[in-house]
Amino acid sequence: MKKHIVIVGGGFAGINLIKSLVNDNRFRITLVDKNNYHFFPPLIYQVATSFIEASNISYPFRKLLSNYRNVNFHMGSLVKVNPDSNSIETDHGILQYDYLVLALGTESNFFGMENVKQCSLPMKTIDEALYLRNYMLLTLEEAARNKDIKEAQKLQNIVIAGGGPTGVELAGMIAEMGTYIAEKEYPEMKLSLSSIYLIDALPTLLSPMSKMAQEAAYNKLKSLGVKIILNTAVKDYVDKKVILADGKTIETETLIWTSGVIGREVPGIPEESLGKGRRLLVDAYNKVQGTKNIYALGDISLQMTDENFPKGHPQLAQVAIQHAKNLGKNLKRIEDEKVLIPFKYNDKGSMAIISKFNAVVDLPKFSFKGFLAWLTWLFIHIIPLISFRSKVRLAFNWLRLFITNNPSIRLILRPKKESNNE
């Protein structure tokens, strides 16, 4: 009998696990995801800022899996895991499994601030990125026709909470697009009223990276006019005012939230299996503690058996990919009755783009910045895209856009079903 592997989540971990087991006749695989597409999260901020189309970083699961004879796709959201019966419930049915792999990733963490959760703009999914894109474009149109200076300033102010790679990349992109585009296309606006704020509770930007990267990001964003506020947390968002921990406020219609993540909830998993940040505690082989055949990969897993990362691995794409490849080998070794291989993370470094022609790269033995780092960033971010067509399209679009500084996809699209009376 073929062993049935159910994988929940079609991100880096889920897809790479499938690739490691594809066409192995000992396994039957079902991929479960609430969306019908895989997407590339590191470039989602470029979708949110109208720089690239969502299709540049997305690919349909069914097309991707169509050539794999032992893989099926189930579109649905996870409702509950039933470890006792080896089954999961989705909003579209029940699936039995021999092995369950949870690779759901994370969601935005609002740290219990209900107003921020309800009124800020997160950017973790394609849906959220497209909503943010429409929201900012609509806000610009409103600012362009508003004659009240105070109201116009509130409309033109943008506050980004979170000074990690996403916040830094987003701040740089918005600042540059304001320089290249707003001056030409919004002549009615008084751009002197506009401000971009980047806020973080920590003392530096890009806190996990090298001091060189932190200083380069700070200095470049400052030169682009970004107002950086460090050592200060966002405490609330009331009446279109961002309230900071020091009591100061910033009036804005746009609070973008990139300030932390938390593991997605997995109903049915034992309480003792949950660790910090709602991540699932796993052993050296990515098996969830307290279970016999449930595994967790990528951002949602918390593995503290790696001597080089005793507090757990960073929530990066490379960790998820390496998790998946190691688990793929171990599932085969279980079937072959061989000794399992404990996971060891091979840290290949980290990077962030700051602005056009400017990035920072931290490798295990050295760091560098500037144009060469920017080219490295572009190359590294094209490689993981699923299809050759996506790689070519994105490379062509980047070449055109970086030369012209003028993306032309700033379309306000609000799909809805038209009523019969309209």
Closest to 377 (Cα-Cα) out of 351, 343, 355, 402: 351
Identity of the amino acid at 94: I
Q: Where in the chain is the domain with CATH 3.50.50.60?
A: 3-108+261-335
Q: What angle do CA 184, 240, 218 make, to 5 degrees?
A: 60
Q: Where in the chain is the domain with CATH 3.50.50.100?
A: 114-259
Architecture of domain 114-259: 3-Layer(bba) Sandwich (3.50)
Q: Of all helices (H) and strands (E), which one includes residue 236?
A: strand 234-238
The DSSP code for 277 is G
CB 13 within 8 A of CB 321: yes
pLDDT digits 0-9 by tens, 73-88: 999 999 999 999 999 9
Per-residue pLDDT of the chain (422 residues; tens, 9 = 90+): 799 999 999 999 999 999 999 989 999 999 999 999 999 999 999 999 988 889 889 999 999 999 898 999 999 999 999 999 999 999 999 999 999 999 999 999 999 999 999 999 999 999 999 999 999 999 999 998 988 888 989 999 999 999 999 999 999 999 988 877 887 888 888 877 789 999 999 999 999 899 999 999 999 999 999 999 999 999 999 999 999 999 999 999 999 999 989 999 999 999 999 999 999 999 999 999 999 999 999 999 999 999 999 999 999 999 999 999 999 999 999 999 999 999 999 999 999 999 888 999 999 888 999 999 989 988 888 887 777 777 888 888 888 777 777 777 788 877 666 555 44
**How many Cα neighbours within 13 Å face the side chain of 343?**
34
Query: What count of other Cβ atoms lies within 10 Å of the Cβ of residue 177?
Result: 18
Superfamily of domain 3-108+261-335, CATH level 4: FAD/NAD(P)-binding domain (3.50.50.60)
pLDDT digits 0-9 by tens, 272-288: 999 999 999 999 999 99
